[in-house]
Chain A
């Protein structure tokens, strides 16, 4: 293990480490703590300039209810869910199929196709922006949840296919070959043999894509303009304009927007990290 385990150091070093650890964490998360403190203080505090000091009163329930009663935050939240969940389902499903094809079959186009999926995943959003927006306008999908879902699902398919293909590649090939010799059809092999084995990959991709899409801001700005389909990220920005100098409400809304991905991360931490490191984690 590197660096040297702290247990092997002197008592002094050990104690210093244990004291410094929470201090370092405190400094690292100071921005978040600050926004939390802001979200529970009163309007009077904000007006008197007490934005980062100790709140004069704690109005946690008042402020968080106000976000929902005084704005469209609830709609934004619901839209985010309506956009995120179908996107996760579609992109992971497409990637299972495509990743399986690219990992199992030996055909000439396999590697070039695989690299096109990877490359597409890295392109700047701006090179897609005008045509995708135009396509959405022409098909009546502009400013709809469906429009966002279809685009996100297509774009995430690149990353998901990369991940899935590498995961399936690492499975023992003999399993599939012996099933073929037994005369099992290709789709049945995929469905009954491979799919159960890739469950960890499905979990990793699901949490990761969930977080990416939930936090998307660019496409929400480009493909929506009304309240009807705006997700929470774009919503928070709109609230920032609506609640001018009511920072306690804007912070409360921002924190609410952060809750689902944070929960997702804490509940599925192992899968989340496995996804981020492209499966480099062991155990």
Chain B
């Protein structure tokens, strides 16, 4: 018996030796061959720029001439800049108010989760706002809010009140833009929940009904736990969306009036690349702050995904 085994081993060894170096190691090398193009692209355009930005943030640089090392001066200046605090505060507003898209999306999804005639078309049409460019959404809402002819003005006039200039008033402007941003975001959350509701186990719903659960109780104890994957994804995309908000602000107010609707992403752009001057170093410092804020969320999301990955396989 043992002699047969050793004979087998020997033949395997000679077979291996006859193969080329690649064939011997192909299971170790092949993944890197498949990965190289993607890694190269990602490295050049995503990973390295992050570190370059951090490096630039320690410099004073107009993007053309020589960069001068200034250490932490950009960050110190930032701490003393009122525009920075306005932007930071607005980012917080965006974050909290934007999250309303999650329950609102759930609400619409529950409303639409029926099977009456033409429901598929209704669902797609409700999803419409998400497919349209934010530039277009921003323009539409700018007209809506126009105090001279906008729909909001018509409603105010109808009640005999003089219409507010939502985008021209420091008190309302950020809320006005957030409402515009919520429109497509609610549509996105809605579609996540509609798919989630599709996958809810009918047995558990039936079991819940037999136990006398219905309405909100059923929603809270039976449905929502099953919808957690949809909720998680909705929160991820909404948080990232809120902190990335740029298009709407650029289109609707350009951060105005007097910088009151600025957020970090737009403030950064304004400092680094607009008529206000090419302060690449200062802009990069703002970008680094925004990056660190997002890193908190990114780490949490990745950690959750890692837990799932460990549990799943």
Interface residues of A (CB under 8 A from B): 1-7, 17-18, 21, 24-25, 28-32, 34-35, 38, 49, 51-52, 94-95, 97-98, 100-102, 104-105, 107, 110-111, 113, 115-120, 122-135, 150-151, 153-155, 157-158, 161, 185-187, 190, 211, 214-215, 217-218, 221-222, 233-234, 236-237, 240, 247, 250-251, 254-255, 257-258, 261-262, 264-266, 269, 273, 276-278, 280-282
Contacts and interface: CB of A to CB of B under 8 A. Distances in A.
A273 B113 CA distance: 16
A25 B150 CA distance: 21
Contacts of A158: 42, 46
Contacts of A150: 41, 45
B97 interface: no
8 contacts: A25-B122, A49-B148, A51-B143, A51-B150, A125-B265, A127-B50, A127-B53, A251-B139
Given A38-B143, A124-B294, A127-B290, A97 B135 contact: no
B310 to A, nearest CB: 10
A7 B39 CA distance: 53
A257 B135 contact: yes
Given A3-B113, A129-B53, 15 more contacts: A1-B200, A2-B113, A21-B122, A31-B129, A34-B151, A52-B154, A97-B37, A101-B31, A110-B31, A122-B298, A124-B243, A158-B46, A186-B26, A222-B273, A280-B229
A233 B132 CA distance: 10
Interface string B187-204: 010011001111110100
A7 B113 CA distance: 12
| Chain A binding surface SS class | helix
A269 B287 contact: no
Contacts of B198: 281-282
Point out which of B214, B222, B246 has the most chain A C-beta atoms below 10 A from its C-beta: B246
Point out which of B41, B151, B197 has the most chain A C-beta atoms below 10 A from its C-beta: B41
B140 A35 contact: yes
Contact of A34 (B143, B199, B214): B143
Contacts of B250: 217, 221, 237
Contacts of B38: 94-95, 97-98, 117, 157, 161
A134 B46 contact: no
Point out which of A5, A21, A95, A153 has the most chain B C-beta atoms below 10 A from its C-beta: A21
Contacts of A111: 309
A265 B124 contact: yes
Interface residue tally of chain B, by bracket? 35 or more
Ranked nearest first, the 5 interchain pairs of A and B with the lowest CB-CB distance are: A154-B45, A98-B38, A101-B34, A131-B49, A131-B52
B100 interface: no
Contact of B41 (A31, A101, A154, A234): A154
A281 B230 CA distance: 11
B210 to A, nearest CB: 14
Interface stretch (B68-76, B78-86, B163-171, B278-286): B278-286
B131 A236 contact: no
Contacts of B246: 125, 217-218
Contacts of A215: 132-135
B124 A102 contact: no
Nearest to A35: B140
A258 B131 contact: yes
B115 A5 contact: yes
B298 A1 contact: no
B92 interface: no
B93 interface: no
Contacts of B258: none
B101 interface: no
Contacts of B129: 28-29, 31-32
A248 B45 CA distance: 39
A107 B30 CA distance: 11
B141 interface: yes
Contact of B110 (A3, A104, A221, A280): A3
Given A24-B111, A129-B287, A277-B192, A123 B42 contact: no
B63 A134 contact: yes
